[in-house]
Amino acid sequence: MPPAFVVYILQSKSSGRFYVGHTNNLRDRIQRHNSGRTLANKGKGPFELVHVEYFPTRTEAALREREIKSKKRRGYIAHLLRTSRA
C-alpha cells in the first residue's frame, strides 16, 4: 500500500524562510500555499518544495511534523535537507 500522508518542507523564494506541514494531497497543498489561500504564510511566497517524507497514517505524519517544528532551528532543517539529498 502506498504512503497516504506526507510531511513537507517548503521554502519561501522571497524570504528564504521554511514552512513545515503535513497533508494527504501534496499537489493541492502546495498550490494553496502559492495562491495565498493558507493563512499561516499568506503573501510570503512563492514557495518551493525542498523536502518530503512519506507516512502510512496521519498520526505518524503529524508526529513527525511536530518533531521537526520542535527543533525550531534553521540549522536542523538545513541538516535534514543535506542528509536527504545525499
Nearest one of 57, 58, 67 to 9, comparing CA atoms: 67
pLDDT digits (tens, 9 = 90+) for 51-75: 999 999 999 999 999 999 888 677 7
Cα distances from 65 to residues 2, 14, 23, 27, 42, in angstroms, run 19, 23, 10, 18, 20
Question: Which band of pLDDT confidence, cut at 50, 70 and 90, is reported for residue 82?
Answer: confident
Q: CATH class for domain 5-85?
A: alpha beta
The confidence score (pLDDT) of residue 75 equals 78
Task: Please tell me the pTM assigned to this model.
Answer: 0.81
Q: Where do the structural domains in the chain lie, given as residue ranges?
A: 5-85
pLDDT digits (tens, 9 = 90+) for 2-46: 669 999 999 988 888 888 999 999 999 888 888 876 766 666 778
